[in-house]
Amino acid sequence: MSKGHILVVEDEKDISDLIKLQLSSNGYKVTVIDNGSEAIELVQTHPSQRTDTTPIDLFVLDRMLPGINGQDICKFLRVFKHTKQSPILMVTALSSTEHIVEGLDAGADDYITKPFDISILLARVRSLLRRSDLLSSQGPNEDILSLGPVTLDKDQCKVSLKGSPIDLTLSEYKLMVAFLQQPGKVLTRNQLVEFIQDGPVHVTDRTIDTHIFGLRKKLNEYSDMIETIRGIGYRVKNDL
């Protein structure tokens, strides 16, 4: 039984062959496309009209592609109704912080830079699919978010740690909502600024770092559940 269907969009055949071989040998079904425009066309094609009717569970996208680049594919996947919540792993040779942030801001959930260790690629794939399973199994009550020892009630704006309420500022609360809605996802400082920005109050990258520091203090021994992605942003572990 397949562990999931992965669409790999990569125009370097040596790399796509390697990724397909390793993913397939680890139990995943893999489809490979070498052109961005063709990937967009496939995503929009109804499953009943595809050669392979299996739904796509994860997208692995090269950043630089013929037709449409990986960043623009990300943006499309995030607005297309059938893929809004689909996990996206970006593979890029553009390894500067600026390029990685651009990919994450475009909608990628995680990234890996070329050349990469195949074991790291497989770990990222497992993590993103776990996160996707977690989000799909949270049930109909979207007002209650839980992860490990933390429970957040959006209806009452309350957060508890191991059953005991913790007192958060409004900004700390908004950050916790952002993290628990997307566990395991790397959130850039730009994304977090947009999430907590409210009215005329100006929020900066430094402000985000200060709020994260305060939030970690209030999480006590679970402070390390919020991971720093150096130069990029933060994420909360999805395997507590």
Same-domain pairing of 153 and 184: yes
Say how far apart CA 96 and CA 223 lie, in whole Å.
28
Task: List, in sequence order, every residue forming a beta bridge with 89; answer none if it has no partner.
Answer: 60, 110
By DSSP bridging, strand 88-92 and strand 58-62 are parallel
Cα of first residue to Cα of last residue in the chain, in angstroms, is 27
Same-domain pairing of 207 and 175: yes
Domain end among 88, 107, 136: 136
Say how far apart CA 113 and CA 98 lie, in whole Å.
13
* Span 159-173, average pLDDT: 93
User: In the chain, what's the furthest Cα-to-Cα distance?
Assistant: 53
Same-domain pairing of 113 and 165: no
3-state secondary structure of 101: helix
Same-domain pairing of 148 and 125: no
Same-domain pairing of 41 and 104: yes
* Span 139-168, average pLDDT: 86
Same-domain pairing of 205 and 149: yes
Same-domain pairing of 111 and 9: yes
Look at residue 138 in the predicted model and tell me its pLDDT.
Answer: 57
Asked if residue 155 has pLDDT above 90, the reply is: no
Whichever domain contains 230, its CATH number is: 1.10.10.10
Look at residue 198 in the predicted model and tell me its pLDDT.
Answer: 63
Domain end among 83, 109, 136: 136
Do residues 193 and 204 make contact, with C-beta atoms less than 8 angstroms apart?
Answer: yes
Same-domain pairing of 153 and 124: no
Which ranges constitute the DSSP H helices of the chain?
A: 13-25, 36-44, 70-79, 97-106, 118-136, 170-181, 189-196, 205-218
Look at residue 203 in the predicted model and tell me its pLDDT.
Answer: 60
Chain segment 62-113, per-residue pLDDT in tens = 999 998 999 999 999 999 988 988 999 999 888 888 888 899 999 999 999 9
Chain segment 8-57, per-residue pLDDT in tens = 999 999 999 999 999 999 999 999 999 999 999 999 987 677 777 788 99
Same-domain pairing of 219 and 118: no
Do residues 30 and 20 make contact, with C-beta atoms less than 8 angstroms apart?
Answer: yes
Same-domain pairing of 16 and 123: yes
Same-domain pairing of 111 and 41: yes
Say how far apart CA 78 and CA 148 lie, in whole Å.
27
pLDDT bracket for residue 1 (50, 70, 90): low
Count of the separate structural domains present in the chain: 2
Domain of 28 in residue numbering reads as: 5-136
Whichever domain contains 64, its CATH number is: 3.40.50.2300
Look at residue 200 in the predicted model and tell me its pLDDT.
Answer: 44
Same-domain pairing of 76 and 162: no
Chain segment 168-214, per-residue pLDDT in tens = 998 899 999 999 988 888 999 888 988 887 644 456 667 889 999 99
Domain end among 102, 136, 170: 136
